[in-house]
Structure 1
């Protein structure tokens, strides 16, 4: 509803203003993105390298499927270990902070007040805000964790979520270079075109949650995949001749 301000005569819009943010700490986006990209690029490179050595379609398919399975499990295990280690480190630091709040509450109170003062809050008000937050031990811990560690204790990434996201996305990406051969194709070009189209689509989709232009992100991923395929195909051709 628009309200007329009497002192200025200007109309001020007081309609409710709300907005939402995407979840950026859920632990699934990064492994999903990296998993899909890695699956596409690595398996395209593998298929191109094997095809460059003049191997049979059967060998290409077996190699591609083996690369899919091995890569998916490797990505999942790596993501699980990485996120679990990070989570355990944060939890250890939270325990340190919880112990300090219990043993030295006054020092921690002054520390939090000093943080607010450094941001321009008046000293008396900063101390009062810190005091009120310290009335609830869990609220105090959460506030100190955010201010000192930059983390939200209630929103830590899940190792299982990261592992599953990575496994599934890698598998989807890695199957694209093999799919044409599974459907009866006999030329590498079908696999290259499909995989590069997938890379462009992934890059364009990633741009929806970043500040990049969709076409720039898509072309960047396409170029990286094409470079990987070209290099591995060349190496496959060289070693195929040398070992033939």
Structure 2
């Protein structure tokens, strides 16, 4: 497609492998650490213990998120590469069958059989291009555009750390009341949800309120648990 034909619109990058772990990491860090801090604060008034719990939650959560993202994306990538290798072997050992299969996919999409056969023939003249078209049609992936596990892990680690730091920050700055952490977390939760609406079809207020509600529910549950455990003297 020429640059001129594409000049009337632009698409955002949806395959870079950073957006999902970044958004999920920030949301998870904010919600989980605020809930953790609320739970600890319900069981003790010792701000050093509360801050220690929040710091431990930040470190453990960020490392866990990064490790989980790396393994998950690496496994997904390795599976895709294995299936792409199968397709590459099929193209080399059964080129005629693969060409007919490709032509049939065009026919199924409404292209005339003769034209579909000619398009498939021309594509098949270039092995790398043929592999990419077959992989997209059959696997839904492109050989040169697979997500990076390192990008996913780093994005998740950094975004979780930032999200988890926000509810902890008031205690690090000397606060002695959960209300400060609640206020910062509430604003951050709503803002994070509103920011996400930029890359989705939802309105900013809907996304913001939804994220605020999720965080509030998580904090309420852990606060109740912490209060019960603290009252029991465990």
TM-score interval for Structure 1 and Structure 2 normalised by the shorter chain? over 0.9
TM-fit CA distance, 1:243: 1.5
Aligned match for 1:196, one of 186, 204, 207: 186
Listed as ranges, the gaps of 5+ residues in structure 1 are 1-13
What does the per-residue CA deviation read over 1:82-123, in whole Å, with 9 as the maximum and x for residues that have no partner?
A: 000000000000000000000000000000000000111000
Where 1:177 maps in the other structure, the secondary structure is helix
Aligned match for 2:34, one of 17, 22, 44: 44
Structure 1 segment 21-40 matched on structure 2, within 5 A: 21-40=11-30
Alignment correspondent of 1:8:
none
Inter-partner Cα distance in structure 1 for 2:201 and 2:6: 27
Alignment correspondent of 1:53:
43
Where 2:167 maps in the other structure, the secondary structure is coil
Where 1:211 maps in the other structure, the secondary structure is coil
Alignment correspondent of 1:93:
83
Alignment correspondent of 1:109:
99
TM-fit CA distance, 1:178: 0.6
Alignment correspondent of 1:4:
none
What does the per-residue CA deviation read over 1:18-71, in whole Å, with 9 as the maximum and x for residues that have no partner?
A: 211111110000000000000001000110000000240000001100000000
Pair 1:154 & 2:156 matched = no
Instruction: Identify if the C-alpha distance between structure 1 residues 220 and 16 changes in structure 2 by more than 3 Å, giving closer, same or farther.
Output: closer
Instruction: Identify if the C-alpha distance between structure 1 residues 128 and 173 changes in structure 2 by more than 3 Å, giving closer, same or farther.
Output: same
Inter-partner Cα distance in structure 2 for 1:55 and 1:76: 32
Q: Aligned pairs, how many?
A: 231
Inter-partner Cα distance in structure 1 for 2:143 and 2:119: 20
Where 1:176 maps in the other structure, the secondary structure is helix
Alignment correspondent of 1:226:
216
Alignment correspondent of 2:68:
78
Return the TM-score normalized by structure 2.
0.96
Aligned match for 2:117, one of 111, 119, 127: 127
Inter-partner Cα distance in structure 2 for 1:161 and 1:202: 21
Return the TM-score normalized by structure 1.
0.92
Instruction: Identify if the C-alpha distance between structure 1 residues 186 and 217 changes in structure 2 by more than 3 Å, giving closer, same or farther.
Output: same
Where 1:155 maps in the other structure, the secondary structure is coil
Pair 1:163 & 2:153 matched = yes
Inter-partner Cα distance in structure 1 for 2:94 and 2:65: 43
Alignment correspondent of 2:134:
144
Runs ≥4 residues deviating over 3 A: 14-17
Instruction: Give the helix-richer structure, 1 or 2.
Output: 2
Pair 1:236 & 2:203 matched = no
Listed as ranges, the gaps of 5+ residues in structure 2 are none
TM-fit CA distance, 1:204: 0.6
